[in-house]
Amino acid sequence: MPVQANPLIKTLALSPRRRLAPPAPARRLMAAVRCSVAKRTYNITLLPGDGIGPEVVAVAKDVLSLAGALEGVEFRFQEKLMGGAALDAYGVPLPEETLAAAQASDAVLLGAIGGYKWDNNEKHLKPETGLLQIRAGLGVFANLRPAAVLPQLVDASTLKKEVAEGVDIMVVRELTGGIYFGQPRGFGTNDKGDDTGFNTEVYSVSEIDRIAHVAFEVARKRRRKLCSVDKANVLEASMLWRKRVTSLASEFPDIELSHMYVDNAAMQLIRNPKQFDTIVTNNIFGDILSDEASMLTGSIGMLPSASVGESGPGLFEPIHGSAPDIAGQDKANPLATILSAAMLLRYGLGEENAAKRVEAAVTETLNNGFRTGDIYSPGTTLVGCKRMGEEVLKTVESQSAVAVNS
Q: Which of 298, 308, 309 is nearest to 333 (CA)?
A: 298
Sequence-separated (6 or more) residues with CB below 8 Å from residue 254: 220, 224
Catalytic annotation, pick one of 106, 117, 180, 376: 180
Q: Tell which phi-psi region holds residue 228, choosing left (phi > 0), alpha (psi between -120 and 50) or beta.
A: beta
| Residues β-bridged to residue 143 | 173, 307
Catalytic annotation, pick one of 231, 277, 331, 374: 231
Q: Tell which phi-psi region holds residue 20, choosing left (phi > 0), alpha (psi between -120 and 50) or beta.
A: beta
The whole-angstrom separation of Cα 404 and Cα 402 is: 6
Catalytic annotation, pick one of 88, 155, 263, 325: 263
C-alpha 312 chain-centroid distance: 17
Q: Which of 75, 76, 70, 148 is nearest to 355 (CA)?
A: 70
Catalytic annotation, pick one of 90, 117, 274, 291: 291
- Is residue 263 flagged as an active site residue? yes
- Is residue 394 flagged as an active site residue? no
- Is residue 180 flagged as an active site residue? yes
The whole-angstrom separation of Cα 342 and Cα 178 is: 29
Catalytic annotation, pick one of 50, 287, 331, 356: 287
- Is residue 155 flagged as an active site residue? no
- Is residue 116 flagged as an active site residue? no
Alpha helices in 261-350 (DSSP H): 262-271, 283-295, 335-343
The whole-angstrom separation of Cα 41 and Cα 62 is: 16
C-alpha 209 chain-centroid distance: 22
**Active-site amino acid positions:** 180, 231, 263, 287, 291
